[in-house]
Amino acid sequence: MVDLHSHILPNIDDGSKNMEETLKMGRIAEQEGFSKIIATPHYIEGEFILDREQFLNIIKEVNEHFVKNAINIEVLPGLEIYISPDLPSKLKKEEIFTLNNTFYVLIEFPMGNIPIYTEDILYEVRLLGYKPVIAHPERYAKVIEEPDYLKGLIEQGNYVQVNSLSIIGILGKEAKRTAEILLKHRMVHFIGTDAHTSRIRSPRIKEALEQMRQWADNEYVEEILNNGRALIKGEKVDIPQPLTYKPDKGFLHNMRRFFKLKTS
């Protein structure tokens, strides 16, 4: 299996703090069934910006340590890029890494309000020939409140990656509930761990896969896993038609709507 979202590199961002932690994460990932991990440290203008050569050297060093310690994992280059108006120009100038040097780009949105320029930026990225992969939308307030917002982005030609740890509830009840909705409505194309440590946010997936098979059919789950394998080769991944989400408008929903209208 392929983990296409991981903060496994040591001393880069808010992920692994040292090589010892990285080795522990690698051992867990191997036990969980991963053979390849795309390292996706944060890229945030003015906060996390990596030197290209330094980044590749760190990946090389980690791979050498894995071999030395008999950890059968290969680490590949990538970034989790925080969306900004400059993203298309940076991709055009090849200043930032895509996922394993393919045309897939992992893009993170703000957890709160999604910028008004988001759809325009994603459109420009696609015009350049890249495939935007939206990182963990089940954690975004906008998608939690309105899952069909994501359906619209998918229909425009964007992809979706959900966190395995969201599926098992590690990242909160709302993220788990939203992940369930997205899976049941065919709005998920990739899965990644978004691992940061060897502890709570470790590179685990087995439990998540069991949960996914309770929410969706096994064929769809296998398709999601196969998409990860296709991604690292730069192969095309077809987007299934997402289903419209129809929320249960019961008593609690109507009460929330009533008080929202009353206070607005």
As averages over each run of 10 residues, the pLDDT of the chain (264 residues) reads 97 95 98 98 81 92 98 98 96 94 97 95 98 98 96 97 97 96 98 96 97 96 97 93 83 53 46
pLDDT at 48: 65
The reported pTM is 0.92
Domain boundaries along the sequence of the chain: 2-263
Mention every residue, 6+ apart, whose C-beta is less than 8 A from residue 261.
none
Please state which architecture CATH assigns to domain 2-263.
Alpha-Beta Barrel (3.20)
Nearest to 189 by CA among 211, 156, 162, 150: 162
What per-residue confidence (pLDDT) applies to 164? 97
What is the rounded distance in angstroms from the CA atom of residue 125 to the CA atom of residue 128?
5
* Amino acid 256: pLDDT: 56
Q: What's the confidence (pLDDT) of residue 239?
A: 86
Return the structure tokens found at 167: 């599926």
pLDDT of residue 264: 43
Looking at residue 257, its pLDDT comes to 53
